[in-house]
Every structure is written in structure tokens, then in C-alpha cells.
Amino acid sequence: MHSEYSFDSSVPIMERCRTAVDLGLAEICITDHCDFVPVDKGVGYYRPDAYFADVERARAEYEGRVNLRAGVEIGEVHRYPDQARAIVDGYPYDFVIGSLHFIGEEKSGLVLEAPYFEGKTELDAYEAYFTELLAMVRHGGFDVIGHIDVPKRAGFSVYGGYRCVDFEEPIRAVLQAAIEAGIGIEINTGTARRPVGIPSPDVDVVCWYKELGGEILTIGSDAHYADQMTHGFAVVPAMLEAAGFDHVTCFEGRKPFWMKVG
């Protein structure tokens, strides 16, 4: 989830903790955006020093009531390795998400918006994304791939649907590379808030990941607003069961550990 340290959220960290307690959550991790593509609205917005100061204040305030983990969502890690490394190595993060939002450095390369798909066939649009995502995974430098098929948030409306099986080969290549690198995936329920109506990824991809030997699986709401903290979580147990997962993964000091579910 995100806080006021992401350019697209305004929720204070202290409020995130208060809501977590109200919801009965034992542990949360706030992963604010850290972006480097020059045309990205978030460039220069993230302030890690202020973020960690607030994290420490919230930890002291909510000690014994909720376990607050410190995280970050780095965009395009492979294209800005020095900048990304300075952030990741410079602060005591528990968890680092690697996300791909842009293909190239033009505004039209933002895969979250309809202009990215203009003049492209569905095959070309998604395969370009998964090819770039594979390069990012092979580069590494993060713990979990964020919203692995995120272009479907906008692409679903552009093309009138989305079927992950149409892109099984490139998706499996990304999953295999992630497993070999010790990188996990997340079930991002934030995508279910969009017209596509299902998480990123959907259950088939989670099944492929498990089939290939994947074990590192986190759950995230990708919440930007106060009322989104657990949005979509109701579908997760069935997804885990269908794929054969009896655990989810948490992180402390960039080290994974597993929690049983059910």
C-alpha cells in the first residue's frame, strides 16, 4: 500500500496503522513509489529520510498492536540501476517491489493509460511489456515483481478483454527468470478495482508460478486511498487454494519468511 510519500496518495503512515488495527491486521508494509523516468509524475517526489522518520514514529506509537514494515516500490530498476541502488542500499528496507510502468521514456510509454495501446495490436502491446519485464527481472535488485500483468488495467477496456493464456509463453518466461533469481511475485488486488475486475495476476498465472516451483508470494492491495487497504482480499484464499499455496510470504530486512494460511 501507499502513503503520503507517494505522489498519488495522501494517506499519512499513522493513519495506515490506525486503520490496520481497526481491521485486525497483524502486519502491514508501506511501499511508496520511487520513480526515475523523466516524464513520470512521481520523479523527485519520494523522500526516504522523511518516510523513515514517520515509520519510526508510527512503530513507536503502534508497538504491540501492528507490525509496520518499511518498503519501497522502485520503477524501472534495470534502466536506472545506480539511482535504484542508492535508494535500496541507503536505507533499512524490509521489502522492495520492482515494478514496470513505462516502456521507454516517453509519456506514451506509460502502460497504465490508453495512449500506450494506440496503434498497437493487443499482441504487440502486451509482448513489448513482458519482454521489458523479463529484462527487468534478469537485472534484479528487488524482492518481488509488482503487479506482473498491470497493462491489463487499461488494456482490458481498449481491446474489450484480456486473457492471460494468450500470453502464456512470455509470462512463463518471466516467472521462470524470477524463480531462478530468487524473486517472488505478488497478488495485487488493486487491479480488481479497475474494469478488468481481477487481480494482477489472475489465478492461472499463480498456478503457473507454483507449477514452475515458485514459493515467494505476497499479497498487496496497492491502496492509494484510505478505504482501499484490504480491497479485493476476499478472492485471495480461493486463488491460493487453486494454485496449491498453503502460505504467503512476508519480509524482514529483505529476507523472506512464510506464514501459513487457512
Three-state secondary structure of the chain:
CCCCCCCCCCCCHHHHHHHHHHHCCCEEEEEEEECCCCCCCCCCCCCHHHHHHHHHHHHHHCCCCCEEEEEEEEECHHHCHHHHHHHHHHCCCCEEEEECCECCCCHHHECCCHHHHCCCCHHHHHHHHHHHHHHHHHHCCCCEECCCCCCHHHHHHHHCCCCHHHHHHHHHHHHHHHHHHCCEEEEEHHHHHCCCCCCECCHHHHHHHHHHCCCCEEEECCCCCHHHCCCCHHHHHHHHHHHCCCEEEEEECCEEEEEECC
Of the options 1.10.443.10, 3.40.50.800, 3.30.110.30, 3.20.20.140, the CATH number for the domain spanning 13-260 = 3.20.20.140
Q: What is the pLDDT of residue 29?
A: 98
Sheet containing 27-34, strands listed edge to edge, beginning at the edge strand earlier in sequence: 27-34, 67-75, 95-99, 144-145, 184-188, 217-220
pLDDT of amino acid 131? 98
For the CA atoms of 192, 9, 250, 28, what is the dihedral angle to 10 degrees? -110
Work out the mean pLDDT of the chain and round it to a whole number: 97
How much is the pLDDT for 226?
86
* Predicted confidence (pLDDT) per residue in 163-182, tens digit: 999 999 999 999 999 999 99
Across 54-78, average pLDDT: 98
Q: What is the pLDDT of residues 21-36, one digit of tens each?
A: 999 999 999 999 999 9
Residues 67-94 have a mean pLDDT of 98
Whether pLDDT at 262 is above 90: no
Which pLDDT belongs to residue 3? 98
Q: Is the pTM of this model over 0.85?
A: yes
Kindly tell me if the per-residue pLDDT of 76 is higher than 80. Answer: yes
- Percentage with pLDDT > 90 across the chain: 98
The set of cell numbers assigned to 32 is 511508496
Mean pLDDT of 203-216: 98
Domain regions of the chain by residue span: 13-260
Report pLDDT digits (tens) over 192-203. 999 999 999 999
Q: Which of 82, 86, 93 is CA-nearest to residue 144?
A: 93
User: Is pLDDT of 80 > 80?
Assistant: yes
Rounded mean pLDDT, 87-92: 98
Residue 261's pLDDT band, with cuts at 50, 70 and 90, is confident
Q: Is the peptide bond before 48 cis (omega within 30 degrees of 0)?
A: no
